[in-house]
A = this chain, B = another copy of it.
Amino acid sequence: MSTPRKTRAEAALATADRLIASARRLFAAHGAAAVSLDALAADSGVTRGALHHHFGNRAGLFEAVFRREVQALGQRLDALWEAEMAVAGDRWGSFRHTFHAYLDAVVEPGTRRILLQDGPAVLGETAVDILLADGFGTMVDDLRGMVALGRVVPLDPVAMGHLFNGATINLAFWAAEDAPGEDRLARAHATLEAMFAGFGRG
């Protein structure tokens, strides 16, 4: 180890990371509005001064958490999509499989709450901007390409993307409160696949 003592920039990143980690955990558990900044600072071992210094206010901290969550999920889904494409080479099939993986991901309570529940409520319009810039945009591009190839019905790809996304989101909220033996998630996947069947061609 060349530098056993941290530099100032490293220390700043470390405290910011610890704040984000605490926020991700507490926000996921109790909701973004229900946790006080005092509790957040205490949980990460710093004072509220550090929090305001790095993120300004609660919305700023939440936006950092939100961006990290979007990026992590986007990378997972991108990797899955590329793996599918490398094996099967079926664009429409890979597209659908990625959406099914998306459904599985947002069934997890923490991810669902941050991305789909608190995100729009806290960030408002900014939330969809972030989503469009990171992941959602490439999904729409892929859809547009498949429309051009005649693989998907000739409709506005942006509208289709929002429709698919909303359908998946609501199925996730429903499937998340599963009763034992009910197996809502399997039904959600089946219904989602039926929806896709109506949009595919060839």
- A88: interface (CB < 8 Å): no
A128-172 residues with Cβ-Cβ distance < 8 A to B are: 128, 153, 155-156, 158-160, 162-171
**Residues on B with beta carbons closer than 8 Å to the beta carbon of A169:** 166, 170
Contact of A168 with B166 in the complex, beta carbons under 8 Å:
yes
Distance (Å) between the CB of A197 and the closest chain B CB? Answer: 6
Which of B117, B124, B173, B197 has a CB less than 8 Å from the CB of A162? B173
Interface size class, chain A: 35 or more
Distance (Å) between the CB of A111 and the closest chain B CB? Answer: 16
Chain copies in complex: 2
- With contacts A194-B199, A197-B198, A199-B198 taken as known, whether A163 is within 8 angstroms of B156 at the C-beta atoms is no
**Residues on B with beta carbons closer than 8 Å to the beta carbon of A170:** 162-163, 165-167, 169
- A93: interface (CB < 8 Å): no
Contact of A195 with B195 in the complex, beta carbons under 8 Å:
yes
**Residues on B with beta carbons closer than 8 Å to the beta carbon of A199:** 194-195, 198
Name which residue of chain B comes closest to A165, CB basis: B170
- A120: interface (CB < 8 Å): yes
Distance (Å) between the CB of A188 and the closest chain B CB? Answer: 6
Contact of B121 with A156 in the complex, beta carbons under 8 Å:
no
User: A156-B191, A159-B174, A169-B170 are known contacts; what are 4 more A-B pairs with Cβ within 8 Å?
Assistant: A153-B194, A163-B192, A167-B170, A167-B195
